[in-house]
Each structure stands twice: as C-alpha cells, then as structure tokens.
Amino acid sequence: MMVRDGQPSQTARRVAAYRLAFDRVAAPFGDPAADELLAADVSAGVAVNSDGRMAKYLQYRTAFFDRVAVNALDGGCTQLVTLGAGYDARAWRYAKSGVRWFEVDHPATQADKRARLDRLGITTQPVKFVAADLVEDDAAEALLGAGFQPEVPALLLCEGLAVYLSPAVLADLFEQLRSIAAAGTRLALSGGVEGSNSARRAAFAERVARLGEPLASTRADIAEALETARWRQTEVSGPAHRLGLMVAVPV
C-alpha cells in the first residue's frame, strides 16, 4: 500500500476500527484477545460508519480471509505470509504451535505497529516482521532473508493491498512471489468490486487519495498481473467473486 513518507497507513487504521464490530471466524487455537486489544488501540479516535456499505463489504472480506487462513491451518499449513499487513493481527488471532507467520509491510506502518504491540505487552513471538516497501523492494528476497522456506507450501494473504499498487508493481510482486511458491502454495487477495457503482467508487478513490494512499489498479489489472506472473485463479463463491475476492495457485 502506498503511504506518506514516514507515516503509518491511515486506511489500515480505519480497517482496524471497522473490524472491532465484526464477528470473526472461530478456531480452537490462537489469541483473539490480542487481536482485539491491538485493534482497539489502533482505532482510538477513528470514527467509522458501522452500518454503511463499506462496513458490510469489509465484514465479508474479513470473514473470507479468516476462513482461508483457518482452513489452511486446519489442513496442516505451517507457513503463512501477510503482505501489506497493516494492523492485521491474524498472526495472533490464529497463532498455532509449529506455524510461522511472516508480516511484510512498509517500514513506517510496521514500526508503529511494533511500538503499539510493545506498549500493550503483546508478544511478537508468533511473527517474523519483514520491513519492505513493496514498490521498491523485492518481496521474495526479503522473505528469504527472514527465513521463509521456498520448498514448503505457504498461504500468502494479500488483503486490501493490490488496488493501491500500479499494474507494473503488481506484475513484479506476483512474479517475485511465484519464484518462491512451492507446489501447494495459495495466494488469496482482494481486488475491485464487480459492477461497483461508479459514483461510490469515485468517492472512495477521492477519500483514500486525500489520505495519501491513492488507488492505482483495477480488478482487471490485478487479474492480468496474476496471469502474466503464472498464477491461476481458482473458483470462489459467487458473492466472493462479485466482491473481487480471489484465490490463485502457481502454474
């Protein structure tokens, strides 16, 4: 996600505020309280409309990525990566013995998140933090340097990120990820909403641009970048498809 130099992502703070009101997918492992504690701290002073269209979209999107993560963990996945992690705390909510989580994010947002975790007394043991500017840096190289094992299947979570990256940057990012994706790896990501009202989309684009995080790619751009980088989309439910939620596997 594009962020103003030296500042944490403002859209990531707003997502954290919305999520406080959501029912989350349950699992017999993890620490949901740590997730909620961080979200409450991050969202202090952030006002959102919990009954609006954005809240409904984010609730469905959050549940989609929760289910993808829990299903992967139930299936024995031991390596998960959150790209553009922001203030997401699935690594705590769904912490599980023997599983390694990697969080890749812009250094400014990641530094703010780590400072909050330290102040709140939340352990960072489940997570390997990987500071990287996804516009400038090689995500695969950064992950390998942090101990990511390319021979081990992984789940890659790319929620609320792709639309903020240009088509060229997306193509590079997906190619980098493809280079370290073992057979069995899955990439879950969010793109633009199908048939989205043009006026509402324009208003949303204007809001995030004012926050210094302008939209840069459409759903079609994301799909093309996946195909170019040799990722094949798999089938998702009708509602997920309409909301631009995707899962891809390496070809």
Q: What is the pLDDT of residues 52-61, one digit of tens each?
A: 888 999 999 9
Residues 6+ apart with CB under 8 A from 101: 80, 81, 82, 90, 91, 95, 126, 127, 128
Q: Give the CA dihedral 109, 143, 133, 176, nearest 10 degrees.
A: -140
Q: Which CATH architecture has domain 10-250?
A: 3-Layer(aba) Sandwich (3.40)
pTM exceeds 0.95: no
What is the domain partition of the chain in residue ranges?
Answer: 10-250
pLDDT of residue 1: 43
> Which residues lie across from 27 on neighbouring strands?
none
CA geometry: angle 113, 116, 120, nearest 5 deg: 140
Stretches where the chain sits below pLDDT 70 are: 1-9, 194-214
Give the tens place of pLDDT for each residue, 111-146: 999 999 999 999 998 899 999 999 999 999 999 999
Chain centroid to CA 189: how far? 7
Q: Which residues contact 198 (CB under 8 A, 6 or more apart)?
A: none
